[in-house]
Amino acid sequence: MKTFALTAAAALMATTAFAQSAAESTGLNSVTGTPPKTEDFVMEAASSDMFEIESSKLAVERADEETKAFAQQMIADHQKTSDELKQLVEGGQVQATIPTSMMEAHQEQLADLQALQGEEFTEAYQDAQEEVHEDAVDLFQRYGSEGDNAELKAWAAKTVPALEHHLQMAEELNAD
């Protein structure tokens, strides 16, 4: 099974335009510690921010008070990172496109949350926050240490501590 996975991974990497995106979207880059391509990083970071903001807006409406306070901070902080990323791209420092909608996985997670109410919603939101912040910390660490665009790399590295703090907060919230 391991040989098959390595063979499949090698096949995915054979086509550079598709391979990096496939390797990133399948999690292979995360497992191997490979930094994402700039376009992949921008797409994933923007999608994650969109998910954070939209899911947290739901939490402000549906969750308990402690979770609402966390959600309000997520809205503010992720709007800030969205604005910063947008400025880097629109200012010409980063050659990429800011997506106008979330990646499919984030859209599905949001749809799942939209279907829930009460304690079920709160638990699912808290779980999702922990999961997306684990992914974001990993993504930003990999790009911040070895990304190929100097300005974006510096921004990603500068953003990691805030994301780590969000992850810690999500873990504590989820532990209650």
Tokens of 75: 């809205």
Which residue has tokens 């990096």? Answer: 20
Higher per-residue pLDDT: 111 or 9:
111
Distance of CA 5 to the CA centre of its chain: 25
Lowest mean pLDDT of 14-23, 26-35, 96-105, 158-167, name the range. Answer: 14-23
pLDDT in tens, 61-82: 999 999 999 999 999 999 999 9
Tokens of 2: 């391991």
Residue 16 has pLDDT above 60, yes or no: no
Provide the CATH topology of domain 36-175: Ferritin (1.20.1260)
| Structural domain boundaries in the chain | 1-34, 36-175
Res 17: pLDDT: 35
